[in-house]
């Protein structure tokens, strides 16, 4: 049984970002396609974020770092940004080593304390 597509514009949930699943191994040849995918997903959803799912990514290397940096640049030029989902600790360490900072899914902003966390006060601390 088939049905016709509904008339009008597609319904897009602006609160749900587009998700781009990266392949197990990222090569230099794939970077232009990945950047085009980021731009297309930003344009299609009208949202400002594309989530890059890294769960299936193999051991990270500089090709992966280069691809993520170029994807972020493509997203910024399109008026958005990328957010990383499930980056492995070695990839996070490599990104820190080269000085790249990415927003991670589920990460709170630096200036905002995590919900339910209260700062402890020592009884010997002077009142401010």
Which helix (H) or strand (E) element contains residue 51? Answer: strand 49-53
Fold classification of 18-103 is: Transcription Regulator spoIIAA (3.30.750)
| pLDDT for res 126 | 62
Contact 53, 88 (CB under 8 A): no
82 in Cβ contact with 38 (< 8 Å): yes
List of the chain residues with pLDDT < 50:
1, 9-13, 109, 111
Q: What is the pTM of this model?
A: 0.70
Confirm if 96 and 118 have CB atoms less than 8 A apart.
no
pLDDT at residue 31 in the model:
94
- Strands across the sheet containing 49-53: 18-21, 49-53, 81-85, 103-104
The whole-number pLDDT of residue 127 equals 60
Check residue 9 and give its pLDDT.
46
Predicted local distance difference test score (pLDDT) of residue 11: 47
């Amino acid at each position: 049984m088939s049905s016709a597509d509904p008339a009008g514009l597609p319904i897009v949930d602006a609160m749900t970002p587009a998700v781009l699943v990266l392949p197990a191994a990222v090569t230099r040849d794939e970077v232009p396609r990945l950047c085009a995918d980021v731009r297309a997903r930003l344009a299609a959803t009208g949202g400002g974020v594309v989530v890059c799912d890294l769960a299936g990514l193999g051991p990270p290397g500089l090709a992966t770092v280069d691809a993520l940096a170029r994807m972020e640049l493509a997203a910024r030029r399109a008026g958005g940004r990328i957010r990383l989902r499930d980056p492995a600790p070695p990839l996070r360490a490599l990104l820190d080593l080269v000085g790249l900072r990415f927003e991670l899914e589920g990460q709170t902003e630096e200036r905002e304390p995590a919900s339910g966390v209260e700062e402890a006060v020592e009884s010997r601390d002077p009142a401010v």
